[in-house]
Homo-oligomer: A and B are copies of this chain.
């Protein structure tokens, strides 16, 4: 495990240490008014600390500290308490760390309502991965390992991202803060929000239970990664520390891996025999951050991939066991038989990512671009026309206008843009390219749909709010009919999104019709989706031209 050192800026996003967890826990235990049980086998009628996690600073405070030299924001914890005595779940902000002196009930501020304690038994919940390292340190180690393992010095290829993992931690899933490329912040946050499935079945157990079961999200099970299978043998493996459904922080060894990977396909190349008989090219070496979460039957592989060209990709693949049911009369309307008396039930996989791009600061706009054929008169043949492709660009002004629904025709290029221009006069932007194969989303009239309303949109754009931290909540699985977070309300107020701090919420996934080859395990091939964030007129030219690994050959 890597240890914390030096650079204090990472502490803004760094997760709680085992010591900090204990400080927060002890502070809460010592509040007589809260009357919290210290026993890990507390009864449902008692009060119990379910989870401790980092409370993110307000974004404005973090940016003032990171960019303007203001004081470091106070470091706080978020504590989720199951109040058996009240029949409620409450969330507290506890601070300041390292020695807490206060706690505030933020439940109503966060969810605009009380959250009922419908069930003490949370069999599957949110997981909280906690990183305890600094980017610089990690990269130093990575570089050394890669240097030792291979014949090449690789640090240079990764150079553009050296300042990147200032903060990286995970609560609902893997997340990265303050992604910088060539020293410039391109994203404040990139994070997994939710993984949801809806199953088809005619067996009572699956129609609703699985339905709820599947809405949990990413789950809390990120276990040790298998060296050489889950990640390359020489990857850097990082431990995480979590405090959830226990009374002592627990370390999960090697639950994150980070590695450089050669995609086996050049990033770019060109051979010319027309004029110069020359060759230029560059191998596509990428940096991968990975966790794998095993939520009951399913395993999701979560990758954040960093390219030399300044692109960043968030990718998810499903594997593990399919959910199945005993074959009864009529079962085949809901899936295929995959084994003796066993139906693999049809289901959806919907995944939501939060993509808080900050393109040259927080004041951005949402642009869409596409192509259309227009009739044009030929300059040299008056009266004669031809259909010619035209570029169509548009800036969308409000949250509702910007909401790109799944299943509808969506402009092919979606951009978060600055109003600053590059050398050629074009607005500097990052493009969102979504790779998705989702099935139908639950119809909107269905009551439970509100708890997963983010899945209506392939891409939705909202004005950033600290209170709209996530498209889902820890408590959604217990209250789908009256969910603490209904994402659609984020855009219902239809705010102006011109020159605002914008957040893109991206949905990907695939329809899964299980078949015999899903036994024993669903394979990852074709069973995934993601989003690529690509610089588009952000630079004046491709930034990988500076890569020292580029090859140029001029044959004689």
- A268-B523, A280-B520, A319-B270 as given contacts; A513 in contact with B369, CB under 8 Å: yes
Are B433 and A521 in contact, CB atoms less than 8 angstroms apart? no
Are A389 and B520 in contact, CB atoms less than 8 angstroms apart? no
Contacting residues of chain A (405-453) with chain B, CB-CB under 8 angstroms: 407, 409, 412-413, 422-426, 433, 435, 437, 439-440, 442-443, 446
Q: Taking the complex as formed, is A215 at the interface, i.e. its CB lies under 8 A from any CB of chain B?
A: no
> What per-residue 1/0 map shows which CB atoms of A52-83 lie under 8 Å from chain B?
00000000000000000000000000000000
Q: Taking the complex as formed, is A29 at the interface, i.e. its CB lies under 8 A from any CB of chain B?
A: no
Are B537 and A273 in contact, CB atoms less than 8 angstroms apart? no
Q: Taking the complex as formed, is A87 at the interface, i.e. its CB lies under 8 A from any CB of chain B?
A: no
Are B288 and A264 in contact, CB atoms less than 8 angstroms apart? yes
Contacting residues of chain A (372-390) with chain B, CB-CB under 8 angstroms: 372-373, 376, 378-380, 386-390
Question: A292 — which chain B residues lie within 8 A by C-beta?
Answer: 269, 271
Are A424 and B339 in contact, CB atoms less than 8 angstroms apart? yes
> Which residue of chain B has its CB nearest to the CB of A270?
B320
Complex: how many Å from CA A502 to CA B489? 49
Interface centre among A263, A332, A439, A521 (most CB of B within 10 A): A521
Could you tell me the distance in whole angstroms from the C-beta of A265 to the nearest C-beta in chain B? Answer: 6
Are B532 and A517 in contact, CB atoms less than 8 angstroms apart? no
Q: Taking the complex as formed, is A248 at the interface, i.e. its CB lies under 8 A from any CB of chain B?
A: no
> Which residue of chain B has its CB nearest to the CB of A534?
B526
Are B226 and A553 in contact, CB atoms less than 8 angstroms apart? yes
Complex: how many Å from CA A443 to CA B207? 46
Are A521 and B270 in contact, CB atoms less than 8 angstroms apart? yes
Are B537 and A200 in contact, CB atoms less than 8 angstroms apart? no
Complex: how many Å from CA A370 to CA B310? 37
Are A307 and B372 in contact, CB atoms less than 8 angstroms apart? no
Contact partner of A543 (CB less than 8 A), chosen from B259, B379, B442, B517, is B517
Interface centre among A202, A288, A320, A389 (most CB of B within 10 A): A389
Complex: how many Å from CA A318 to CA B553? 20
Could you tell me the distance in whole angstroms from the C-beta of A397 to the nearest C-beta in chain B? Answer: 22
Could you tell me the distance in whole angstroms from the C-beta of A348 to the nearest C-beta in chain B? Answer: 7
Size range of the interface on A? Answer: 35 or more
Q: Taking the complex as formed, is A136 at the interface, i.e. its CB lies under 8 A from any CB of chain B?
A: no
Contacting residues of chain A (218-243) with chain B, CB-CB under 8 angstroms: 221, 223, 226, 228-232
Are A319 and B268 in contact, CB atoms less than 8 angstroms apart? yes
Q: Taking the complex as formed, is A399 at the interface, i.e. its CB lies under 8 A from any CB of chain B?
A: no
Contacting residues of chain A (521-552) with chain B, CB-CB under 8 angstroms: 521-526, 532, 534-545, 551
Question: A7 — which chain B residues lie within 8 A by C-beta?
Answer: none
> Which residue of chain B has its CB nearest to the CB of A200?
B389
Complex: how many Å from CA A423 to CA B338? 9
> Which residue of chain B has its CB nearest to the CB of A391?
B346
Complex: how many Å from CA A387 to CA B294? 28
- A371-B440, A424-B516, A523-B309 as given contacts; A269 in contact with B387, CB under 8 Å: no
Question: A534 — which chain B residues lie within 8 A by C-beta?
Answer: 517, 525-526
Q: Taking the complex as formed, is A195 at the interface, i.e. its CB lies under 8 A from any CB of chain B?
A: no
26 A–B pairs (Cβ distance < 8 Å), ordered by A:
A207-B386, A221-B271, A228-B283, A229-B266, A229-B281, A229-B283, A229-B551, A266-B524, A267-B524, A268-B319, A268-B522, A268-B523, A268-B524, A311-B525, A332-B391, A334-B391, A335-B391, A337-B426, A346-B390, A348-B371, A389-B439, A516-B542, A518-B542, A520-B542, A523-B544, A526-B532
Sort A-B residue pairs by CB-CB distance and give the 3 closest, nearest first: A200-B389, A268-B521, A337-B424
